[in-house]
Amino acid sequence: MQRFIILIFTLFSLLCHAEIVDTYQFNSAQNRIRAVDLAKSLRCPQCQNQNLVESNSPIASDLRIEVYKMVDEGKTNEEIIDIMVTRFGDFVRYNPPLKATTIILWILPLILFIIGIMSLFYYVKDNKKLNQNNENAQYLLYKNLQFSKSSITKNKVNLLFLILILLPFIYYFSLDRFELVQNAKSKFFDDKQRFEQMKINNENDSYIIKLQNKLRENPNDDKKWFELAEVHMQNNEFDYALIAYKNVAKIVGFNAEIAGKIATSLYYKNKQNINTEIKQYIDFALNSDSNEVASLSLLASDAFLKQDYNEAIKLWQKILDSGKSSINRRAIVESMKMAESLQNNFKN
């Protein structure tokens, strides 16, 4: 009986939850109420027993904000649900439509409830029989027989519960839902990354116009030319970046930093291949300054692409040891960790 009570409390504990409070600013209080209720009706693709409001997983957080935005944009609940179902399948809904692929989601709770009631009924019935035979002359023999019977019954119940626990997992992996979710997650993050890149590019385009206007007023401002070149690099506009870097060189003179930057522009323009011209710029930069960051970063990236992880790690470590304030130490350390991980996997 104690085991059964523990099981019941465990099942009830699944109903307990805490909600994530977002700082998203809604257009109206009505939109907030509708958006939160809608997010509660959608299941987190990564957390099987949590909705988008309860889950703190990264994908749940992103989807939750996306739902909020779509509500503010005026989309109906049906439209938003259709979008989610298209991405993740019917499983994303807590109330999926009844059809062949979702039938188990509807009948499994009922089966579990029936088995639980039956287990309780037989357990109480067995205990009642034992109590009624307490005064029987053959009590000891009967008790031994009942104990053996009870053990068999318990084993059968345990086996049933094990099967019922495994059944959803078997069903889950027998469908294409797992692959669908993985593909949807991948597409979601790709779209998000593409959107963020577009946003950066749009912001950069506005900033480029501002820089160009300032350079028209003062064409000899080397800092503005350098800044313009860096923004063009972020936009993958390598030809324009080269022009801007060369204008810097005309104003301040050709030095190690400019040589490294020009080499980097040419490297990406040449589809990440080092040719003779690029090598000449790198050699000049490193001969002038052995710790020139752009050139070392270029060589490290190239080594990483060629799966020479040991060389890439050495070059990144050299950049860290240079102690220059302009470097992004966190990004370099993360790159080194990735290279070490890939190196270990390659060895294994």
Nearest to 126 by CA among 147, 144, 141, 112: 147
Residue 43 φ/ψ, nearest 5 degrees:
-85, 140
Local confidence band at 55 (pLDDT 50, 70, 90 cut-offs): confident
More confident residue, 16 or 83: 83
Q: Are both 335 and 296 inside the same structural domain?
A: yes
Residue 46 belongs to domain spanning: 2-92
Structural domain contains residue 276 = yes
Contacts of residue 200, defined as CB under 8 A and 6 or more positions apart, other chains included, come to 234
Q: Please, what is the average pLDDT of the chain? A: 75
Structural domain contains residue 181 = no
Local confidence band at 51 (pLDDT 50, 70, 90 cut-offs): confident
Question: How many domains does the chain divide into?
Answer: 4
Residue that is last in its domain, among 42, 60, 92 = 92
If you average pLDDT over each of 2-6, 116-120, 132-136, 163-167, which comes out highest?
A: 116-120
- CATH for 9: 1.10.8.640
Residue that is last in its domain, among 73, 92, 111 = 92
3-state SS, residue 327: coil
Q: Lowest-pLDDT range, 163-167, 171-175, 217-221, 253-257?
A: 171-175
- CATH for 293: 1.25.40.10
- Whose tokens are 């939850």? That residue is 17
Quick: pLDDT tens for 197-206: 555 656 777 8
Quick: pLDDT tens for 263-274: 999 999 888 899
Mean pLDDT of 127-140: 54
Distance CA 292, CA 286 (A): 6
Q: Lowest-pLDDT range, 7-16, 18-27, 78-87?
A: 7-16
Q: Are both 118 and 67 inside the same structural domain?
A: no
Q: Over pLDDT 90: what percentage of the chain?
A: 24
Find out whether 318 and 332 touch, Cβ atoms under 8 Å: no
Quick: pLDDT tens for 162-208: 666 666 656 555 555 545 555 555 555 555 555 555 556 567 778 88
pLDDT above 90 (res 243): yes
What local confidence, expressed as pLDDT, does residue 240 receive? Answer: 92
What local confidence, expressed as pLDDT, does residue 147 receive? Answer: 47
Q: Are both 239 and 262 inside the same structural domain?
A: no
Q: Lowest-pLDDT range, 41-50, 52-61, 127-136, 318-327?
A: 127-136
